[in-house]
Amino acid sequence: QSVLTQPPSVSGAPGQRVTISCTGSSSNIGAGYDVHWYQQLPGTAPRLLIYGNNNRPSGVPDRFSGSKSGTSASLAITGLQAEDEADYYCQSYDSSLSGSRVFGTGTKVTVL
């Protein structure tokens, strides 16, 4: 079961901007816990894309950015490229689930 809800899919043409939402509740994102984002290219392991709501690890292009407000968070991809076609997952901490780390339902990004 996932306690963080994401749209199943989003799409955009090369060069466009797309956003992915991640909706939680008062026991996770709404409680102030940070949101982190992962990119999973086909057939590979997830890799950390954004941590602490809006921080990029070394090597992640600045086309990727994150934000958080209230019980939701968003990942934005600007200047969409073909190599960005992948599954994206948000992740946070949930205080109602004994220290559980919780993932979003996942969003497939398609580059048209």
Residues 36-55 that bind other proteins (CB under 8 A): 36, 38, 44-48, 51-52
- Return the residue of 80, 91, 109, 111 that touches other proteins, per CB under 8 A: 91
Count of residues of this chain found to bind other proteins when the rule CB under 8 A is applied: 29
Which residues neighbour 80 within 8 Å (Cβ) at sequence distance 6 or greater? 12, 13, 14, 15, 16, 17, 18, 63, 109, 111
Tell me the torsion sign for CA atoms 18, 109, 16, 53: positive
Residues that bind other proteins (CB under 8 A): 1-2, 32-34, 36, 38, 44-48, 51-52, 57, 89, 91, 93, 95, 97-106
